[in-house]
Amino acid sequence: MSTQYKPAIHFQHVDYRIGDIEILNDITGSFPQGRITTLVGPSGAGKSTLLKLCNGLISPANGEIFIKDKAIGEYDPVELRRMVGMALQSAPMISGTVYENLNLPLELQGQQLSKEEALELLEDVGLKSDLLERKVKELSGGQRQKVSIARTLVNKPEILLMDEITSSLDRASKLEVEELISKINRKYNTTIIWITHNLQQALEIGDYTWVMMDGQVVETGESSLLEDPHNSRVNEFVKGVVS
Amino acid sequence: MSYWALSLTLIFVLIPLVLSKTLNLGLGRDMTVATVRSIIQLLAVGYVLKFVFDSESLIYILLMVALMIVAATHNAQKKGAAIQGITWKIAITLIFVEVLTQGILIGFNITPATAQYIIPISGMVIGNSMVLSILFLNRFTAEVEDHQDQTELILALGGTPKQAIHRQLINSIKASMIPTIESQKTVGLVQLPGMMSGQIIAGADPIQAVQFQLLIMFLLLTTAAVTSVFLGYLSYPTLFNKRMQLLKG
């Protein structure tokens, strides 16, 4: 991993297990501040678990995680999760309208999102303004995913974690979201950590890549490593042998 | 009722036993055990009550109430095994409900502070509180499991555990209170409550029986509301740790 950028998140010998099952094993490495890092690897490699560790939804069994050089345990969990935003593949929604979902992060802080801000967010993620009062149960999978991304942006996170957010989108929507995330990254210097199964996407939008397998990081570096991996298992994975 | 008439009531046990045998329901053993247990338990409680009423001792009244709370707690705690320390939470809830309701009844001089009133009313309050606890815990554990993604969503957006579990908690409180509210809506139309029927059969004035039944129904409404709210607010914090993470059973 390049050392020319300050780390936004640093993992130091991190293990995570559920009961006796080891999910992550001795993870060490950094996600550079202000850059886009993609996490790739076969299903069950521990990528989603790693994201949940980054915003404190779970804690490591061993090792230490530092967010902006401060141990994660020293952060107030609420403050940490507002600083490290997360958008999930399943795009869970609360029942109600699109506006109620967009307003949720501020409602949790006793504030309210103005209609103008909500419309601006919809525009940012490529959704039409007439969706604002639409019930979320009437949205398509792609629309839900975009609302989920917009909702994550309400807290203006410094670090954005995204778990396969484009997997349910059509090609046009996928490109719109990729462009949006790149724009956020450039405009606000937001650190992006993005899980994707799409290696082409990792190559195109990621500055750096972590390849994970069986709970371990097996190769890291600039995203171009996916074109010519050093590790034989990564090579097999890239060629589609391991899925 | 004569002993002969009492023994004839076993016909009402014989009918389901015959049905079970004929239709191969496999409930014969359970029904026999239930019948024998109810005879022994009720006869025993009858003699105990006679002893307590005759003694007029506050210690015995408190012991009876404590016994009811222990038995009710033991029965209800099985449904909340996933919640840490549920036995104590149920026990504290039952004690709170009992103290609150008896405090109001005796404090406002609604009923006299004698064993004849305290014990039967406590039995109804604690019994209903136990059923409410079971209904609440059943629904709450299902809600938490079914809506885990929403709980984690709110935590991930910077919400507190209380905010993250709020909807599930409110849904569970409402769901556990519905049977009490619904049964009150139809009382007198669809069914005559057991206590009122018992008093009327024993020769009491129906109007007085109705007055006592109203007292009990209002009491049970408070019991339902206080039990589910109190138990809910005692239970939800144990689903999270100090780092505001959802603990998975």
Q: Does B205 touch chain A (CB under 8 A)?
A: no
Mean pLDDT of B39-62: 89
Q: Does B245 touch chain A (CB under 8 A)?
A: yes
For residue B3, what pLDDT is reported? 84
Instruction: Say whether B154 and A151 touch across the interface (CB within 8 A).
Output: no
User: CA of A206: how far to CAs of A38, A55, A209, B85, in Å?
Assistant: 6, 20, 7, 47
State which H helix or E strand residue B181 sits in: helix B161-186
Which residue in chain A has the smallest CA separation from B149?
A92
Instruction: Say whether B156 and A57 touch across the interface (CB within 8 A).
Output: yes
Positive/negative CA dihedral, A45, A49, A51, A53: negative
Report how far residue A235's alpha carbon sits from residue B237's, in angstroms, rounded to the nearest whole number.
47
Q: Does B246 touch chain A (CB under 8 A)?
A: yes
Mean pLDDT of A97-119: 96
Instruction: Say whether B158 and A81 touch across the interface (CB within 8 A).
Output: yes
Tell me if A153 is assigned to some domain. Answer: no
H-helix segments, B187-249: 194-201, 206-235
State which H helix or E strand residue A219 sits in: strand A216-222
- Mean pLDDT across chain A: 92
Positive/negative CA dihedral, B111, B117, B122, B124: negative
Tell me if A150 is assigned to some domain. Answer: no
Which residue in chain B has the smallest CA separation from A86?
B156
Residue B56, helix vs strand vs coil: coil
Instruction: Say whether A88 and B153 touch across the interface (CB within 8 A).
Output: yes
- In CATH, what number is assigned to the domain containing residue A164? 3.40.50.300
For residue B153, what pLDDT is reported? 94
Distance from CA of B42 to the nearest CA of A (A): 47
Which domain, by its residues, includes A55? 7-91+158-242
B157 and A157 Cβ atoms separated by less than 8 Å? no
> CB count, 10 Å around CB of A109?
15
Instruction: Say whether B158 and A92 touch across the interface (CB within 8 A).
Output: no
Tell me if A1 is assigned to some domain. Answer: no
Give chain B positions within 8 Å (CB) of A90: 149
Distance from CA of A125 to the nearest CA of B (A): 18
Angle of CA points B45, B195, B67, to nearest 5°: 30
Mean pLDDT of B47-52: 89
Find which of A72, A104, A136 to mutate to test the B interface (most B CBs within 10 Å of its CB).
A104
User: CA of A24: how far to CAs of A12, A47, A214, A238, B60, in Å?
Assistant: 12, 9, 8, 21, 59
- Cα–chain-centroid distance for residue A34? 14
Q: Does B49 touch chain A (CB under 8 A)?
A: no
Instruction: Say whether B155 and A81 touch across the interface (CB within 8 A).
Output: yes
Which residue bears the tokens 């001792």? B57
The residues, ordered by sequence, that sit 6+ positions from B50 with a Cβ below 8 Å of its Cβ are none
Using one digit for the tens of pLDDT, what is the confidence trace for B83-113? 888 999 999 999 999 999 999 999 999 999 9
What percentage of chain A carries pLDDT values higher than 70? 97
Answer whether residue B70 shows pLDDT above 60. Answer: yes
Band of pLDDT at residue B73, cut at 50, 70 and 90:
very high
Residue B211 exposure: Cα atoms within 13 Å on the Cβ side: 7
Instruction: Say whether B149 and A92 touch across the interface (CB within 8 A).
Output: yes
Tell me if A238 is assigned to some domain. Answer: yes
State which H helix or E strand residue A7 sits in: strand A7-18
Using one digit for the tens of pLDDT, what is the confidence trace for A2-28? 456 789 999 999 999 998 999 999 999
Q: Give the number of A-B residue pairs with CB atoms closer than 8 Å.
A: 58
User: Higher model confidence: residue B190 or residue A35?
Assistant: A35
Mean pLDDT of B42-67: 90
Instruction: Say whether A94 and B158 touch across the interface (CB within 8 A).
Output: no
Instruction: Say whether A82 and B158 touch across the interface (CB within 8 A).
Output: yes
For residue B249, what pLDDT is reported? 60
- Minimum-distance CB partner of B157 among A59, A90, A155: A155
User: Higher model confidence: residue A173 or residue B168?
Assistant: B168
Q: Does B244 touch chain A (CB under 8 A)?
A: yes
Report how far residue B110's alpha carbon sits from residue B119's, in angstroms, rounded to the nearest whole number.
15
Asked if this assembly's ipTM is beyond 0.95, the reply is: no
User: CA of B92: how far to CAs of A192, B199, B227, in Å?
Assistant: 48, 32, 10
- What is the layout of strands, in order, in the sheet containing A70-71? A21-32, A7-18, A62-67, A70-71
- Mean pLDDT across chain B: 91
Using one digit for the tens of pLDDT, what is the confidence trace for A139-188? 988 889 889 999 999 999 999 999 998 887 888 888 888 988 998 899 88
Tell me if A83 is assigned to some domain. Answer: yes
Q: Does A79 touch chain B (CB under 8 A)?
A: yes
Which residue in chain B has the smallest CA separation from A95?
B150
Band of pLDDT at residue A240, cut at 50, 70 and 90:
confident
Question: pTM for this structure?
Answer: 0.82
Instruction: Say whether A155 and B244 touch across the interface (CB within 8 A).
Output: no
For residue A241, what pLDDT is reported? 45
Tell me if A114 is assigned to some domain. Answer: no
Using one digit for the tens of pLDDT, what is the confidence trace for B193-202? 877 888 888 8
**Total domains in the fold of chain A:** 1
Which residue in chain B has the smallest CA separation from A89?
B149
Instruction: Say whether B158 and A88 touch across the interface (CB within 8 A).
Output: no
Band of pLDDT at residue A38, cut at 50, 70 and 90:
very high
Is residue A159 left, alpha or beta, with left meaning phi > 0 and alpha meaning psi from -120 to 50? beta
Instruction: Say whether B163 and A108 touch across the interface (CB within 8 A).
Output: yes
For residue A1, what pLDDT is reported? 52
Answer whether residue A91 shows pLDDT above 70. Answer: yes
Report how far residue A133's alpha carbon sits from residue B178's, in angstroms, rounded to the nearest whole number.
32
**Residue B241 phi, psi (nearest 5):** -100, -175
H-helix segments, A37-164: 47-54, 77-83, 98-107, 115-124, 141-153
User: CA of B114: how far to CAs of A89, B13, B34, B59, B120, in Å?
Assistant: 63, 35, 31, 12, 11
Tokens of B125: 């309050």
Mean pLDDT of B166-191: 88
Residue among B167, B179, B186 nearest B225 (CA): B179
Report how far residue B192's alpha carbon sits from residue B209's, in angstroms, rounded to the nearest whole number.
11
Q: Does B202 touch chain A (CB under 8 A)?
A: no
